[in-house]
Amino acid sequence: MINRNVNASELELDGRELAARLGVPYGTEKGAYRELYNELIAVAKPAYAATRVKLNREMGGITVGNATSQSTALMKLSEGSSSCLALVATLGVGVDRLILKVAQLSASRAFIIDAMADALIEALCDLAEREICEGLETKPRFSPGYGDLELSLGKELVALSGADKTLGIRMTESGLMVPKKSVNALIIIKDE
């Protein structure tokens, strides 16, 4: 099991990703929003947890930990693989609080911070993936809710990675993560 707190300054925000989320031309997103970005970085507590898990194919499904998925996309993606990494990453509850606070004063500023937080959590997932997959041949990250992969699998990924205990992440009954700026994903490891 891997747990890591990340200094926000280690994260490389992808300008193209941020511009796309803000709906602005690439290159205009950087300087104009520096003040808001600094507010976001001041409260963000980026961290991730991950663990390696066996994949078990069963009739019509694939089992990850104690959860079985009927996802045809996961079945296809995991062909030729017998294990994966369960990854959970978060920016922490401070980001949720900042967005709520700013939204009371300015919906547009809250939208911008929310978009920046989305880009920042992607940057955290990219960093985590580079670190935990070093030396492994893997397939692209695949998250519950994407394609036909059941949201319910997210709860198992949080439990397997220990993120419920180490990062304070919890899942709602409907499958949403708290804090909101959190991601869970499977990273399929290709068998050698």
Residue 112: CB atoms within 10 Å: 22
Q: In the prediction, which pLDDT does 59 show?
A: 79
Total domains in the chain come to 1
Q: For residue range 23-53, list pLDDT tens digits in order.
A: 888 876 666 688 899 999 999 999 999 999 9
Instruction: Give the domain CATH number at 109.
Output: 3.40.109.40
Is the pLDDT confidence value at 155 over 80? yes
Structure confidence by residue, pLDDT tens digits, 70-123:
999 999 999 989 999 999 999 999 999 999 999 999 999 999 999 999 999 999
* pLDDT score, position 58: 82
Residues of the chain with pLDDT > 90, as a percent, come to 79
Mean pLDDT of the chain, nearest integer? 93
Domain range spanning residue 121?
A: 2-189
Note the pTM of the prediction, 2 decimals: 0.93
